[in-house]
Amino acid sequence: MEGQVGNSENIRKAVLILVVSLILGVVFNSLFYEKYPGLGFPVYTILAIIGLFLISRTTNTDLSPDVRWLLVPTVFFSVMLFWRTSVMLNVLNIIAVAMLLVIIAALSYGKSLREYLIPDYLKVLIVPFEFITRLFRTLGVLMSASSSRNDPEVSRQIKKGIAITIPFILLFLMLFSWADLVYQKYLHEIFNIKAETLFRLFWIILVTCAFIGAYSYIFIRNQEVMAETPVQPAKKSTGLIETSILLGSINILFLSFVLIQLRYLFGGENNITSQGFTYAEYARQGFGELLMVAIITLLILLVTEKNVRTAGSGHTALYKLLSTALMVQVTLIMASSFMRLLMYEQAYGFTTLRLYSHAFIIWLALVFLILLIKIFIDKRETAFPLRVFVSIIIFLAVMNLLNPDAFIARRNIERYYTTGQLDTEYLSSLSEDAIPVMLGAIDSIEEFKQQRLAADLVWIHSNRTTSSYYMGWQSINLSRMQAVKLLGDKVDELESLIPDYENISTTR
């Protein structure tokens, strides 16, 4: 009897999940097909969240308390696609929204976010693959519900008959169409399905299946309790000697490198040129390698910190000394990497990749600080990953508020005033976020660069006001609206800056 009740409950949940997922699949097609992500993205994210709570309320399934506060950054990053137009920033925002939604799904199995260890965050990456298993399980529940209303034997025979019939019908239709042109014409008129329709149908089915799998993962559970008891790390005192040798050797190696940095990189341009290198050459070499050094060092410290803790008072004084010395030197190495990038920007200007590399170095330094707090103050295993997770959310939020493309444009124009160098082609490749900055500076740059920038801005205005990808409320974006208005007010003035404008090509 209990089994029948449980099966009936799963069928009810499966039907509800199917309906909500199908609605989201159809809405996805309406909001995103041939549309540039804008207002439609936060609308869709909120609809997916509404679907989550609707299923939760209807099926009397409680969600984790952590879900509510995770919804704040989820909605914030989705709204940023309505505000910002920077391509890289919006890619990061989309990834952040997707990962936060997956974490929300993962939290449905009882484990609090405060109990998450680093492996738990890594396991989140494979959760979407588990959606596939839940998808087929839910579809199986729905099919069993359909067959249960009829005679199981009759239902089985009907399905078998349909499966055998379809291939032969398709084969005969193909042969008849080859044999008779009139028959072929009739078939073409009946089954004249455009490739676009098939493509849109494919995405509707794909998105619907994705939501069925995700919602099923959250709400259709096995009978056994899925909550896991967090495993407490075993206190170890082994490996201290090996770890001391490892960290001591790395410290000596790092010290030799830091001394060179103090003399050459931080010592001024004359010290570099005396070795036969230009400032730009020295800056360009080694940025990626130094960043990799910092990341590998972080991994080494994470592994050794977990394995050499003593059972009594935590870490030994020797480990604290070696790890702190290593972190100080890594900080100097990251400062070296930061300086190299800064020098390269001074020589060649700011780009999106260089700005994000700068920001990543700052965030990585923050992670080292969080690890230092773990070693000396808060030794809880769950505290470090939670703080790093929060720091990632803060990092991306700060990047959104910084407005990267406008910042890059502003810095490159400031650099032009001191060096006379400005890559207008790259400048105009930035998103609409940067257009107010470009319009504010166009009158102060030299004539040739002014003409090229004006031509690009006129093209952008024409493209944003005529392209179907930017039409419709789904693609509404505040930054783009502001840019189009500003360009519209100045388009005549911009056209007057372009020689022989009437004969200029409107393509880029």
pLDDT at 506: 45
Please indicate whether residue 475 or residue 276 has the higher confidence score (pLDDT).
Answer: 475
Residues 6+ apart with CB under 8 A from 318: 240, 244
Which secondary-structure segment (H or E) carries 162? helix 152-179
Selected residue with higher pLDDT from 91 and 229 = 91
- 504 pLDDT band, cuts 50/70/90, is very low
Can you tell me the mean pLDDT for 61-90?
92
Q: From CA 60, how far away is CA 476, in angstroms rounded? A: 37
pLDDT of residue 167: 61
pLDDT tens for each residue of 294-314: 888 888 888 877 766 554 456
Find out whether 85 and 405 touch, Cβ atoms under 8 Å. yes
Residue 482 has pLDDT above 90, yes or no: yes
In terms of Cα–Cα distance, which of 421, 308, 447, 355 is closest to 86? Answer: 355
Mean pLDDT of 378-392: 88
Instruction: Report the alpha-carbon distance of residue 190 to residue 438 in Å, rounded.
Output: 54
DSSP string, 123-149: HGGGHHHHHHHHHHHHHHHHHHHHHHT
Kindly indicate the confidence band of residue 320, based on its pLDDT and cuts at 50, 70 and 90: confident
Name the average pLDDT for the chain: 80
Closest C-alpha among 64, 62, 55 to residue 12: 55
Quick one: average pLDDT of 20-26? 93
Q: Return the minimum-mean-pLDDT range out of 159-168, 196-205, 446-455.
A: 159-168
Please state the pTM of the whole predicted model.
0.77
In whole angstroms, give the CA distance from residue 4 to residue 333: 64
pLDDT at 267: 54
How far is the C-alpha of 85 from the C-alpha of 286, rounded, in Å? 32
Tens-place pLDDT, residues 220-249? 864 333 334 444 444 444 456 777 777 888
How far apart, in whole angstroms, are the C-alpha atoms of residue 86 and residue 80? 10
- Span 146-166, pLDDT tens digits: 555 555 555 555 555 565 566
Most confident of 23-27, 202-206, 220-224, 308-312: 23-27
List CB contacts of 108: < 8 A, sequence separation 6 or more. 63, 64, 217, 218, 219, 221
Check residue 286 and give left, alpha or beta (phi > 0: left; psi -120 to 50: alpha).
Answer: left
Beta bridge partner(s), residue 314: 310
Are the beta carbons of 103 and 119 closer than 8 angstroms? no
CA–CA separation, 187 and 191 (whole Å): 6
Quick check: 346 and 423 in contact, CB under 8 A? no
- The CA-CA-CA angle for residues 427, 433, 437, to 5°, reads 60
Domain ranges of the chain: 2-219, 240-382, 405-503
CA–centroid distance for 368 within its chain: 23
Q: H-helix or E-strand containing 403?
A: none
Beta bridge partners of 310: 314
Q: Mean per-residue pLDDT for 340-364?
A: 85
Comparing CA positions, the residue from 182, 188, 149, 315 lying closest to residue 244 is 315
**pLDDT in the model for residue 236:** 45
- Give the confidence band of 419 by pLDDT, cuts at 50, 70, 90: confident
**Residue 27's pLDDT band (cuts 50, 70, 90):** very high
Cα(479)–Cα(90) distance, rounded to whole angstroms? Answer: 13
Which pLDDT band holds residue 408 (cuts at 50, 70, 90)? very high
Count other C-beta atoms under 10 Å from residue 483's C-beta. Answer: 24
The letter for the amino acid at 12 is R
- CA dist., res. 481 & res. 473, Å (int): 12
506/460 Cα distance (integer angstroms): 10
Per-residue pLDDT, averaged over 121-142, amounts to 85
pLDDT of residue 343: 76
- Which residues contact residue 193 at a Cβ distance below 8 angstroms, ignoring those fewer than 6 apart? none
Q: What percent of the chain has pLDDT over 70?
A: 75
Give yes or no for residue 111 having a pLDDT over 90. Answer: no
